[in-house]
């Protein structure tokens, strides 16, 4: 039976325990995120994240997640944790996101029925290596476990993107099959409580993504989240 070898990237976000970081690596996850956003129940300090990073397997990216943190806070994290990618979830502009000499992902607020154009996003953040569509906005925070209306995703985005917001083992197969994003990002959907990941849910999430990747119609050329 022919299989299309297209692999959706997976990021697990909001890890706070070394055991969860180790398991993410063993499951073949591409990246783990450490949250430095003030007010998040998953927030870790730079020193804690540095210790967590030591539990990370080789070839797995560490992503530092911010929401309107100061430049000094971002610099401290970059120095201590040495992330390979930054993720900005607030109102940061391109000049701010670009000043740390690391690739960055810009989160786009899709809450409250927001609609955005791909060209508009690329113009606002020309330095972004990818965009991440999440359900925050309209009074809701990131990491809330809420979904947004996927039909609002821009169709003209010529940049890889990550799908996020309310993803979980019971909906991720259909999400990947329908949207074919470059990658997916999950936090609440693999947790037993904020910051504490559940091994069974982590395993089930990865295996459901891979099940979707193995669909015969999952072709990279058709994927609108693919690199061009």
Ligand X SMILES: O=C(O)c1ccccc1N[C@@H]1O[C@H](COP(=O)(O)O)[C@@H](O)[C@H]1O
Annotated catalytic residues are 13, 134
Name all contacts of 190-193 with Cβ < 8 Å and 24+ positions apart.
190/12, 191/14
Q: How far is the CB of 37 from ligand X (least distance, A)?
A: 4
For CA atoms 103, 128, 225, 12, give the dihedral sign.
positive
Mark the segment that binds ligand X (CB under 6 A) among 76-84, 115-123, 158-166, 173-181. 158-166
180 part of the interface to ligand X, by CB under 6 A: no
Cβ atoms of residues 130 and 182 within 8 Å:
yes
Among 60, 86, 121, 186, binds ligand X (CB under 6 A): 186
**Structure letter (DSSP) for residue 17:** -
Note whether 37 binds ligand X by CB under 6 A. yes
Tell me: does residue 137 bind ligand X (CB under 6 A): no
User: In whole angstroms, how close is the CB of 28 to ligand X at the nearest point?
Assistant: 19
Contacting residue, 8, 16, 180, 188, with ligand X by CB under 6 A: 188
Which region among 46-54, 92-100, 143-151, 212-220 touches ligand X (by CB under 6 A)?
143-151
When binding is defined by CB under 6 A, the residue of 56, 64, 81, 89 that contacts ligand X is: 89
Quote the least distance from Cβ 205 to ligand X, whole Å.
10
Binding residues (CB under 6 A) for ligand X: these are: 13-14, 33, 35, 37, 40, 42, 65, 67, 89, 132, 134, 141-145, 164-167, 185-189
């Amino acid at each position: 039976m022919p299989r299309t070898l297209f692999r959706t990237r997976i990021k697990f976000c909001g890890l706070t325990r070394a055991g969860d970081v180790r398991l993410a690596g063993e499951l073949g996850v591409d990246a783990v995120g450490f949250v430095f956003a003030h007010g998040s129940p998953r927030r870790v300090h730079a020193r804690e994240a540095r210790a967590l990073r030591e539990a990370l397997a080789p070839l797995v990216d560490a992503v530092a997640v911010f929401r309107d943190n100061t430049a000094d806070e971002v610099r401290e994290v970059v120095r201590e944790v040495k992330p390979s990618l930054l993720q900005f979830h607030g109102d940061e502009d391109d000049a701010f996101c670009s000043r740390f000499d690391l690739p960055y992902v810009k989160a786009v607020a899709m809450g409250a029925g927001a609609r955005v154009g791909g060209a508009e996003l690329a113009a606002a953040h020309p330095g972004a290596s990818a965009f991440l569509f999440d359900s925050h906005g309209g009074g809701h925070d990131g990491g809330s476990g809420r979904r947004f209306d996927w039909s609002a995703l821009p169709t003209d985005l010529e940049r890889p993107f990550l799908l996020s917001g309310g993803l979980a083992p019971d909906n991720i197969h259909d999400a990947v099959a329908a949207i074919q994003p470059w990658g997916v990002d999950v936090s609440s959907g693999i947790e037993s409580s904020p910051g504490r990941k559940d091994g069974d849910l982590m395993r089930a999430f990865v295996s459901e993504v891979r099940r979707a990747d193995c669909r015969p119609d999952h072709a990279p050329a058709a994927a609108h989240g693919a690199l061009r």
